[in-house]
Amino acid sequence: MNRRDLEEFRDSPSENNIFVDDGGSLQVIICHAHLSIMLTQAQDVTLFFDESRFPSSAWPNELEQFIESDPYTGGLQAGTQSVPRSLRSSSSQPILQRYPIKSFFGTTREVHRPGHFYGRIHALPPQHGIPGFQRVCFIMLQPDHKNNRWGYEGCVFPGGNIIIGRWWDATNPGTEERVYSGPFILWKVAESHADPEITSSEAMKYLETLKKEGTIAS
Query: Rounded mean pLDDT of the chain?
Result: 75
pLDDT per residue over 91-145, tens digit each?
555 566 889 999 999 998 765 678 999 999 999 999 999 999 999 999 999 888 8
Q: What is the DSSP letter of 145?
A: E
Q: Is the pTM of this model over 0.75?
A: no
Q: What is the pLDDT of residues 203-215, one digit of tens each?
A: 999 999 999 998 8
| Start-to-end CA span in the chain (Å) | 37
DSSP 170: S
3-class SS of residue 191: coil
SS3 of residue 37 by DSSP = strand
Show Cβ contacts of residue 18 under 8 Å, excluding neighbours closer than 6 positions: 26, 28, 29
Contact 69, 137 (CB under 8 A): yes
Helix (H) or strand (E) holding 63: helix 61-67
Per-residue pLDDT tens digits for 49-66: 999 999 999 999 999 988
Q: What is the mean pLDDT of residues 26-52?
A: 56
Residue (of 58, 70, 64) closest to 149 by Cα position: 64
